[in-house]
Chains A and B, each alone.
Chain A
Amino acid sequence: MDELFDNIIIGSGLTGVHAAQTLVEANKKVLMLDVGYTNKKINESEVSNSFLDLRKNNTAQKDFILGKNLESIHWGDLKVGAQLTPSRQHIIKDVEKYLPIESSSFKPYQSLAAGGLGAAWGAGAYCLSSKELSKMGLNTSEIQDAYNTIEQRIGISGYIDDGSPYCNAALNHILPPVQMDNQSELIYNNYKTNIKSLNRNGIFLGRSNLAALTQDMGERKKLSYREMSFYDDHHASVYRSWMTLEELKKNKVFQYEPLTLVTHFKEFNDHIEVYAISTNSNKNIQFKCKRLILCPGVLGTTKILARSYQCFDRFPIMCNPYSYIPCLSLRRIGLPIEKNKTALSQLFLYHDPENTNVDVSVGAFYSYRSLMLFRLIKESPLGFRTSIALMRYLLSGISVLGLHHSEEGGPEKYLQLTKDNSPSGFKLKAEYIHTQNEIKSIAKRNKAIKSKLSKLGLIGLKTITPESGASIHYAGSLSNSQNEMSINENGQLIRSKNIFIADGSGFKFLPAKGLSLTLMANAHNVAKKIIEIDSK
């Protein structure tokens, strides 16, 4: 393409679309390059009124639940994407082909989908504390302002309670909270009963802050408690980046180029040439722009930059240590299933023993039902018949607590570009090795949290720690400010005045709280800086 674009944005995830929206609102011309795989069915919400209806009445549910090609049936050790339902499988489509990673210790999630990894986001929306933001190297007041902009764009529901200092204190327009199901209500009531003892041990519980509508917002409708959030985006109640992307496409100053995998770029005096592969034809294509904004996620950004500058050095990487604890509520086993509920997490747990709101471990409680028994029975130590009978009985009392811990990186946690035979000719080599002290510290945290679950009326059955990378939160590859491959406070790459990074690559610390809201806020701010620079 010979046309010279003002701004090219790479990637349509949470950061790409919000950077684009801010630029488009200022009437700036934007071209977005993206592979952008979609599953059209994901937006079709007529499958059933509710998950229970589907289970009871739909004779063709096998394709929906197991997948036409049995995509949901995984046998053997858990792999990346094993928990994705068939309608979300497009999120990891072609990743091994186009975004290969060589590693024995790091198994990250990457995506070429429209909306990126945000297409599988659990919708947890956390405002970070001032201390966390400043430790990440972000401007606290600017991000807190941006939280409100994003909140108004996407709609966030929440509640003012003990969890508020950890997730929604900076928000001004919170929608009413998502309705709790019986299991969550029981846990929440137990928390209130044992609040003093739990708080003394650094444990705080709050209702979730979610990018899920509890009131209609334009064409998006409020949550209808169908328990199918892992399967579809019914009425667009739960925010996904494709919704912003669809809105952007209606704008004349915005252009979207799908099936385009950017591999690298080259800077010239007055423009940048961006090189890509068409995933449709496998042909090489190129674009020209005055300014390039990278939003393909930390791994994508690192690969594109390293290749563009032929940099084969190690880049730092951070990823939250992640564990999950299946829990059982004895009072709820054997109870009949509930009809109307959401599959989204309704309670967040914070472990803040020092009461600093920085080194906080964060947990989200999920009920398991809509992921079906077949995923559970495989992990049971019993034969399948006994497992089915047992799990069926336990199902109403099962919760899964997903736990994230904060991360600061280290010398054995890195990404490095190497050459290979993949379509782009390069792949990332990665390692992610915790020190013995870190391993002990994470285990200690997990143990401290697990030991207090009884106060919430739960028995923590087992702590499972998947391989590094499973948390899906990555940051920090451009955080070394001693290096010219880092970014300044405007999100600008130090070695270039026309390359901007609007994802989490520049963050110097990775808090345990989900980054999504902060990523969107930061992308909005980077776009605002670009507008400011333009106006000077």
Chain B
Amino acid sequence: MTEKVHIYDKEAKKISAYLINENISSDLVDLYAECLIKKLEITKITDSEKTLWSIALMHTLFLDSIDNALRFYNSYSPIRARIYIMACILECQPTYINYFLIEKKTILDLLKLFIEFILYPFKLALGFFLILIFHNNG
């Protein structure tokens, strides 16, 4: 497992940074690796998405943009499956509960959401651009 975890370390941390802006512990990297292996049939990156996946892992902005665009281009892509599995794992961690449940209403939450939506069209456009360039349709 250790070798495999090492392989998954970078992507696990990049995905968690994208989803909740936090760097996760090695225990969660272990768990992510274990889950990917258990769900190999949906998480195995296809040849056509290998380059796109490498680009996505370069920066959270790319990951964010590609995720948004893939939602329309290929909603059940293995790239999105990997992000989804991390989202499931994070939601089950008491440490990160505040990213998934509101315990106290704050203006900051609303502001963050507002900014997300303002940036959304730009990220979507960037995502489609990256897919156009790096998705190999064979």
Contact = CB atoms under 8 A, between A and B. Distances in A.
Contacts of A385: 18-19, 64, 67, 116
A396 B103 CA distance: 10
B123 interface: yes
A84 interface: no
B113 A57 contact: no
Interface SS of chain B: helix, strand, loop or mixed?
helix
A82 interface: no
B120 to A, nearest CB: 6
A325 B123 CA distance: 30
A386 interface: yes
Nearest to A68: B38
A384 B80 contact: yes
Interface in B79-118: 80-81, 83-85, 87-89, 91-94, 97, 99-105, 109-110, 112-113, 116-117
Interface stretch (A14-22, A69-77, A104-112, A307-315): A69-77
Give the most central of B76, B80, B92: most A CB within 10 Å.
Answer: B92
B55 interface: no
B89 A62 contact: yes
Contact of B42 (A75, A384, A395): A75
A105 B100 CA distance: 37
Contact of A62 (B20, B31, B112): B31
Contacts of A374: 84, 87-88, 91
Interface in B33-91: 35, 38-39, 42, 64, 67-68, 71-72, 76, 80-81, 83-85, 87-89, 91
Nearest to B109: A393
Interface residues of B, number: 42
Contacts of B31: 62
Nearest to B19: A385
A389 B19 CA distance: 9
B88 A73 contact: yes
A512 interface: no
Interface stretch (A31-39, A88-96, A333-341): A333-341
A80 B96 CA distance: 31
A382 B97 contact: no
A422 interface: no
A75 B112 contact: no
Contacts of B19: 384-385, 388
Given A75-B42, A385-B18, A392-B100, A58 B94 contact: yes
Interface residues of A, number: 37
Nearest to B88: A374
Interface string B8-29: 0000000000111000000000
B93 to A, nearest CB: 8
A389 B116 contact: yes
Give the most central of B72, B87, B104: most A CB within 10 Å.
Answer: B87
Nearest to A375: B88
A388 B94 CA distance: 16
A390 interface: yes
A66 B38 CA distance: 12
Given A388-B100, A392-B100, A62 B92 contact: yes
B32 to A, nearest CB: 11
Contacts of B20: 388
B112 to A, nearest CB: 6
Contacts of A69: 38
Contacts of A395: 101-102
Nearest to A377: B87
A69 B91 CA distance: 17
A267 B89 CA distance: 55
Nearest to B69: A383
A70 B38 contact: yes
Interface of B: 18-20, 31, 35, 38-39, 42, 64, 67-68, 71-72, 76, 80-81, 83-85, 87-89, 91-94, 97, 99-105, 109-110, 112-113, 116-117, 120, 123
12 contacts: A56-B97, A75-B39, A335-B105, A337-B101, A373-B87, A373-B91, A384-B87, A385-B116, A388-B19, A392-B99, A393-B110, A395-B101
Given A69-B38, A384-B67, 12 more contacts: A65-B91, A66-B89, A73-B35, A76-B76, A334-B105, A334-B110, A336-B102, A337-B102, A381-B72, A385-B116, A390-B116, A392-B99
